[in-house]
Structure 1
Amino acid sequence: MMPNDEPQIAELDLDAYVDDQLTGPQRSDVEAYLARRPQAAARVMRDLALRRDLGRALAPPPAPRPLLGAARRLAAARRRDARLRRMLRLVPAAMLVGMGWLAHAGLGPLVVSQGQASAPPPALVTAALSAHEVSLLRLSMASQPGIARLDPAEMRAATGIVLPAFDPSWTVRDAQVFPSPQGPGIEILFEAPGLGQVSHFAVRAGSFGVTLPHLQKTPGQGVAWFQIGETAHVLIAGADKAEAVLAASRRLSDTLY
């Protein structure tokens, strides 16, 4: 039997979670619910992937520089379309249009309101930056040869961390289990075309969550992070590679759905 104090989560609440329409405490309730229900969690991940793809499809193409002035004048008109586009992003399938609208309006067991995305976890990013620095230090030392063999199955069995499918053109320079405040993490240093030396750090976050890739402002580094399920991932390269790191993070996250 479920605990009496377990939050009552309905389908509308899951739809609101997908559309980022919940407050922090409400998101926590939904994530606790999903952490105990793998099938529901898988459905939410699929819906988030569809929402992301719809968002990319609906996004207007970048304006050429000579048209930037005109683009600013059109900003007010675009804002009028924002509500319609938010509703379209809600839709995981055509038959859920009505349910998505209800979730956006705040109906259901949870009172849904516009909320801000959860703040990036500083400890995770700090641990990833430390692991990145150690990897670069090891690479520069003749007495500390890098480990170029990567066995994702063995690492998952030892740490419970699911690694994404990395680009075959990326060359592994070193792979280590690295300690962090969240527990053992996996630090992999690559040589990647277009990115140079790039490291991927993965660690179990301690709770279920789905956060799409986004940049983390960090002096001197290009850093992007995301979370799929119970594992968080951080990608780090040079400061001039920030946008390329974000694009690479999106490709990696796609392999985990």
Structure 2
Amino acid sequence: MLKDDPQITDLDLDAYVDGQLADAQKSEVEAHLSRHPEAASRVMRDLSLYRDLRRALAPPPMPRPLLGAARRLVLARRRDARLRRMLRVVPGALLVGLGWLAHAGLGPLSVKEGLASAPTPPLVTAALSAHEVSLLRAAMSSQPGITELDPDELRAATGIRLPGFDPAWRVRDAQVFPSPQGPGVEILFDAPDLGQVSHFAVRTGSFDVTLPRLIETPGQGIAWFQIGETAHVLIAGADRADRLLDASQALSDTLY
């Protein structure tokens, strides 16, 4: 079992990249990586190579029209399954539902986790709040937007390293936004392939490397990933979900 830095060897780092460590060992290696930037850089490079190898060995991607049809079929089956469950438990569901509404409310920033493949990370909720504020500011003539970014100044103030954005993305506004995880950076773009898209970045307080993941919501596409201690969330229209995931992948590649 890993105890301290001298006992964390290259074999341990390789096992971390291969996903062969238990949770306790993984935590110790991540603590080691947070104290040793060179080792963390090597691990992130290895993870990137592992991802590229997995992508190279994967079968050819499904054509876009078929992918859209498959997505609609999956969503339809999910709706049918939920409907069948609701019909069996309507009386109880009404009571439980009323209690849930009283407790949680119906705010516009709620993420419906039933449509996602995993519980929504808290940082996504913070990103949705920042996104809504950005859209509100963009619609107000009395709130001028910031159209020039200074990544070095933002990093010095927040400790957040921004990815390399596509030069074709036009900045409409940028602000430091408070969140439960600490100050985050919220940027609103006009992008040729995504329309209006926002990028929210915040330091999570823990080291991790998470490949881009897509969260499905009725009105928005949300993609998030984490490199080191900083997590990144992109939000765009629900009809741009596939392209949003591709954009997240491209942004994460600039941080290795």
TM-score category (smaller protein): 0.7 to 0.9
Counterpart Cα distance in 2 of 1:175 and 1:27: 36
Structure 1 residue 39 displacement after superposition = 1.0
Structure-1 residue corresponding to 2:75: none
Structure-2 residue corresponding to 1:159: 158
Q: What secondary structure sits across from 1:194 in the alignment?
A: coil
1:189 is the counterpart of 2:184: no
Spell out, residue by residue over 1:171-220, the C-alpha distance to the aligned partner (whole angstroms, 9 max, x if none).
Answer: 00000000001100000000001100000000111011111111123342
Would you identify which runs of 4 or more consecutive aligned residues in structure 1 move more than 4 Å?
Answer: none
1:243 is the counterpart of 2:242: yes
Counterpart Cα distance in 2 of 1:120 and 1:227: 16
CA RMSD, 1 decimal: 2.2
Structure-1 residue corresponding to 2:35: 36
Structure-2 residue corresponding to 1:170: 169
Structure-2 residue corresponding to 1:220: 219
Structure 1 residue 163 displacement after superposition = 0.3
Counterpart Cα distance in 2 of 1:64 and 1:48: 27
Pick which of 178-187 and 19-28 moved more.
19-28
Matches within 5 A, 1:37-56: 37-56=36-55
TM-score, normalised on structure 2?
0.74
Matches within 5 A, 1:1-257: 6=4, 8-62=7-61, 122-257=121-256
Amino acid aligned to 1:211: T
Larger relative contact order (CA 8 Å, sep ≥ 6)? 1
Q: How many residues align?
A: 203
Structure 1 residues 166, 64: CA separation in 2 closer, same or farther (over 3 Å shift)?
Answer: closer
Flag structure 1 segments of 5+ consecutive residues without an equivalent: 68-118
Counterpart Cα distance in 1 of 2:27 and 2:163: 25
Counterpart Cα distance in 2 of 1:123 and 1:157: 24
TM-score, normalised on structure 1?
0.74
Amino acid aligned to 2:4: E
Structure 1 residue 11 displacement after superposition = 2.1
Structure 1 residue 147 displacement after superposition = 1.0
Structure 1 residues 184, 245: CA separation in 2 closer, same or farther (over 3 Å shift)?
Answer: same
Structure 1 residues 245, 23: CA separation in 2 closer, same or farther (over 3 Å shift)?
Answer: farther
Structure 1 residue 120 displacement after superposition = 6.5
